[in-house]
Amino acid sequence: MPSGILENEAIDIWNVTNGKRFSTYAIAAERGSRIISVNGAAAHCAEVGDIVIIASFVTMSDEEARTWRPKVAYFEGDNEMKRTAKAIPVQVA
């Protein structure tokens, strides 16, 4: 997957629209389709049009963690990637 997430990799979904959070696994869609789909029981936690954050995690040594930077991708309503970043901006609640 272009995101760097592997098929069957464990992921967390944080639904910004309704506040629900759940864990699942990645299933590859057809390349270039821009499909983000939630299947099975998890489908009760999201609807078409919801804004979601998809997170994956990695285990690493303390030394690796000191220089590691996240991969952040921002998408528009049509699921087209608009930009990427290597840091998560601070947001005041």
Active site residues: 25
User: Is-above-0.85 flag for pTM?
Assistant: no
Alpha-carbon gap, residue 67 to 81, rounded angstroms: 25
Q: What is the CATH number of domain 10-85?
A: 2.40.40.20
- Sequence-separated (6 or more) residues with CB below 8 Å from residue 15: 21, 45, 46, 50, 51, 52
Task: Count CB neighbours of 21 within 10 A.
Answer: 13
Q: Binding site, residues?
A: 24, 40-42
- Asked if 9 and 26 touch (Cβ cutoff 8 Å), the reply is yes
Q: Binding site for substrate, residues?
A: 24, 40-42
- Sequence-separated (6 or more) residues with CB below 8 Å from residue 31: 2
pLDDT confidence of residue 4: 83
Going from N- to C-terminal start, the domains of the chain cover: 10-85
Q: What tens-digit pLDDT sequence spans the chain (93 residues)?
A: 567 889 999 999 999 999 999 999 999 888 888 888 899 999 999 999 999 999 999 999 999 999 998 888 888 888 888 888 888 888 887
